Structure 1
Amino acid sequence: MYLTNDKKREIFAEHGNGAEDTGSAEGQIALFTYRIAHLTEHLKKNRKDFNTERSLVALVGKRRKLLNYLYKNDIQRYRAIIEKLGLRK
């Protein structure tokens, strides 16, 4: 499996407030970004996998909602996570 518990802890430790803080918006955005990158690579090889494509669109929507939440409530955290993950807006 591409996403193990150790990898999740590493992502949350790097982008969140600690390895056990799975609820922070930054940690969730980082996790979604990792999953989106993995699904994008999968879809490059398997063009007709429409179920995965649908899942990818749902993940992008979830990430967008979290980014909008951060934008409205704490613009500094929003700018930091955008820069750290290399996302554009």
Structure 2
Amino acid sequence: MALDTAKKAQIVAKFARKSGDTGSSEVQIALLSTRIAELTEHLKVNKKDFSSRLGLLKLVGRRKRLLKYLKATKYETYTKLIAELGLRDK
């Protein structure tokens, strides 16, 4: 369930701090959120795909840790990012 390169490049360009930035927390969280959304749609159709479900839970945990780090270090960026991605109602 990997992202195609065009979609990945588009997400990186939107959330990157500077050109060529692929490792910042914002980019990683955005990429994980996209993968989580795609896996969620896959699991709605394939209810018995337990290995993908486990992978989804791992991705959610990784995104949660990155969001916790971003909230502790750069709160303004955190609030802006969750608003753009539509992760929480706050």
* TM-score calculated relative to the size of structure 2: 0.91
Q: Percent identity between the aligned chains?
A: 49
Alpha-carbon separation, structure 1, partners of 2:9 and 2:19: 5
What's 2:36 paired with?
Answer: 36
Q: Which runs of 5+ in 1 are unaligned?
A: none
Q: Which runs of 5+ in 2 are unaligned?
A: none
Contact in 2 for aligned 1:11/1:30 (Cα 8 Å):
yes
What's 2:72 paired with?
Answer: 72
- Which letter maps to 2:82? I
- Computed over aligned residues only, the root mean square deviation of the Cα atoms, in angstroms, reads 1.5
Q: Tell me which stretches of 4 or more aligned residues in structure 1 moved more than 4 Å.
A: none
What's 1:61 paired with?
Answer: 61
* TM-score calculated relative to the size of structure 1: 0.92
Give the paired residue count. 89
